[in-house]
A and B are shown apart, each in its own frame.
Chain A
Amino acid sequence: GAGVSQSPSNKVTEKGKDVELRCDPISGHTALYWYRQRLGQGLEFLIYFQGNSAPDKSGLPSDRFSAERTGESVSTLTIQRTQQEDSAVYLCASSTQTGPGEKLFFGSGTQLSVL
């Protein structure tokens, strides 16, 4: 696609429910990243994928968070038993990762609100 696409753009859920967030990276981008941004704050690294594998999962806040990527393309971030502190914008980014200077291309994010 032309850019990084995320869906849904907005998600309102009740505490305790599971949610699944989707990211379609730019075609051909091997690296894919998930970040969380709470209101008025910076970007918090969650996880990144190189191809379909995730070498670094250290940013996932708890075992309620998981992510997968298939076909070196689409990625899903799943949050189980959502809590109010999970409310944030979840941003996905991708890059070609051909060198250290490769910039990230971000999607517009999913605004998650846990009531």
Chain B
Amino acid sequence: GQNIDQPTEMTATEGAIVQINCTYQTSGFNGLFWYQQHAGEAPTFLSYNVLDGLEEKGRFSSFLSRSKGYSYLLLKELQMKDSASYLCAYPYNFNKFYFGSGTKLNVKP
């Protein structure tokens, strides 16, 4: 089967660091994506990992461990505008993207 699990909601303080975890189970792995979705808006692409390790992109980094079926998104120097839902997803057979339910991040002053 295809399963993705993420925490439902997290709260962090402006300027802090937060880690959002994602675990998945799939019989066919073709990489893992992270998307950001602000309330009432469409999801937008953040990162893609296909190999193990950390991919850094400015304030955002994404980590993948294929053997553990585990990924996380690391957000540094949190800003109020980072308040959004963060969705992890993977493409099954390259085409059928499965999304987690998303982690709603609340950034407080």
Which residue numbers of A lie inside 8 Å of B, CB to CB? 4, 31, 33, 35, 41-43, 45, 48, 50, 55-56, 91, 97, 99-101, 103-109
Distance between Cα atoms of A50 and B31 in the complex (Å): 20
Instruction: Report chain B residues within 8 Å CB of A35.
Output: 99
In the complex, what residue of chain B is closest to A50 when comparing beta carbons?
B95
**Do A42 and B101 have beta carbons less than 8 Å apart?**
yes
CB distance from B26 to the nearest CB of A (A): 13
Chain A residues lying within 8 Å of B102, measured Cβ to Cβ, are 41-42
Q: List 11 A-B contacts (CB under 8 A).
A: A42-B87, A42-B102, A43-B87, A45-B99, A50-B95, A91-B42, A99-B94, A103-B45, A103-B48, A105-B45, A107-B42
Asked if B33 lies at the interface with its beta carbon under 8 angstroms from chain A, I say: yes
Q: Are A33 and B94 in contact (CB under 8 A)?
A: no
Residues of B within 8 A of A106 (CB): 42-44
Contact of A104 among B31, B45, B98 (CB under 8 A): B45
